[in-house]
C-alpha cells in the first residue's frame, strides 16, 4: 500500500501572503496562474484565497517549469497529461489552444519529457 498521504496535504490553510513567502512568487503571479486554470485554491466565506500544501507543491512545480522557459499553455498541457489539473469550471476550460501554439507546446514538451512527477515534492510526496 502506498504512503498514507499526510493529513493536511489537501486542507486549505495558507493565505496568499504566506504562499508568496514560501514560493518566492508574487501574489500577482499566483493569481495569474489561477486565471489560467493551473491551481484552484479554496476560499474563505469572505472570498479570501486559502492554499493547501498540494497547491504549494504545484506552485513550486509551476515555478520550475517557468524557469525552464515553458509558458502557461505548456504547463497546463503537462499537468493535463499527468491528470493533475484541478476540476476546472467550463468557463476557464474553454480556453482552447490554437494550432500554432500546439506545435510550439509539443516542441517544448519534448524538452520536458519525463521531467515531471519524479517524487520531489518539497512539501509532501503523495
94 binding DNA? (CB under 7 A):
no
| Residue 28, contacted partner among DNA, a second copy, none, CB below 5-8 A by kind | DNA
The stretches of 68-112 forming alpha helices (DSSP H) are: 72-81, 90-93, 99-112
Q: How many C-beta atoms surround the C-beta of residue 38 within 10 A?
A: 23
Cβ–Cβ < 8 Å for 58, 84: yes
Q: Nearer to DNA by C-beta: 5 or 69? A: 69
Beta bridge partners of 43: 49
102 binding DNA? (CB under 7 A):
no
Query: According to CB under 7 A, which one of 2, 3, 7, 17 is a site residue for DNA?
Result: 17
| Residue 47, contacted partner among DNA, a second copy, none, CB below 5-8 A by kind | DNA
Amino acid at each position: 500500500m502506498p504512503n498514507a498521504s499526510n493529513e493536511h496535504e489537501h486542507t486549505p490553510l495558507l493565505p496568499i501572503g504566506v504562499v508568496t513567502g514560501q514560493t518566492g512568487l508574487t501574489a500577482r503571479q499566483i493569481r495569474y496562474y489561477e486565471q489560467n486554470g493551473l491551481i484552484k485554491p479554496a476560499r474563505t466565506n469572505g472570498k479570501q484565497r486559502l492554499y493547501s500544501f498540494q497547491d504549494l507543491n504545484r506552485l513550486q512545480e509551476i515555478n520550475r517549469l517557468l524557469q525552464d522557459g515553458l509558458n502557461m499553455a505548456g504547463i497546463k498541457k503537462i499537468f493535463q497529461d499527468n491528470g493533475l489539473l484541478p476540476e476546472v469550471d467550463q468557463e476557464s476550460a474553454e480556453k482552447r489552444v490554437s494550432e500554432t501554439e500546439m506545435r510550439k507546446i509539443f516542441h517544448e514538451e519534448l524538452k520536458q519529457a519525463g521531467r515531471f512527477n519524479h517524487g520531489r515534492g518539497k512539501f509532501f510526496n503523495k
